[in-house]
Chain A
């Protein structure tokens, strides 16, 4: 099982719709979780952190389910500008816990296309 797994998509969604996608992680010792947004040939940008209690930032809601080892991202009232690749990023701690030196493991991303 891959460490961080995402459905690559693409998800084709009409403008204004609600879209949600999940990310599963294999290491139960994972400590923190993030959603990053990456546009084509651009750097990843932190969208939001994901907390156990769930968190919301405007049209974006992130949830964490530790028991089932997945995180989710919900986008409401989608805009054309939301079209991007959404990366699930998991911090599994230091190298001793199996993580890279930066502690982060990146998913391959979910490609989202918002259609007018």
Chain B
């Protein structure tokens, strides 16, 4: 089946540093990828939609300058948390939808646990 690779799986960094997370669709092309954040015991919250070849679309309340998204190809989207602070510590997950597929074909990456000290 389709696989979405996400790495790193875990990052521990100092406050003020930037962290890049990669999301790759391994055996299918995705014009659209999604980035989510999940705090402990909370639901997945959509942060932004990554669109291949164009600017990302951010959900209300998500700072676009804080969370930089680049979708340079049909198989790769990156999320950069800039100047990370302890409150950015969370579980970040990406998902990708195969071109032409329905919602049932939404595949998730394995997630990245970010801990900012």
User: Which A residues have a C-beta under 8 Å from some C-beta of B?
Assistant: 4, 8, 32, 34, 41-46, 49, 87, 91, 100-104, 106-109
Contacts and interface: CB of A to CB of B under 8 A. Distances in A.
B110 A43 contact: yes
B72 interface: no
B43 A102 contact: no
B57 to A, nearest CB: 6
B46 A100 contact: yes
Interface stretch (B14-22, B80-88, B101-109): B101-109
Interface in B19-77: 34, 41-46, 49, 57, 59
A41 B91 contact: yes
Contacts of B108: 43-45
A100 B97 CA distance: 14
Given A41-B91, A43-B93, A44-B44, A102 B109 contact: no
A57 to B, nearest CB: 13
Contacts of B106: 46, 102, 104
B78 interface: no
Interface residues on B, range: 20 to 34
A43 B57 contact: no
A108 B42 contact: yes
Given A34-B104, A41-B111, A45-B108, A102 B93 contact: no
A108 B103 contact: no
21 contacts: A41-B111, A42-B110, A42-B111, A43-B6, A43-B109, A43-B111, A44-B108, A45-B108, A46-B104, A49-B104, A101-B34, A101-B57, A102-B34, A102-B46, A102-B97, A102-B103, A102-B106, A106-B44, A106-B45, A108-B41, A109-B43
Contacts of A103: 103
Output the residue of A8, A41, A91 with the most chain B CB within 10 A: A41
Nearest to B91: A41
Contacts of A91: 103
B113 interface: yes
Contacts of A41: 91, 111, 113
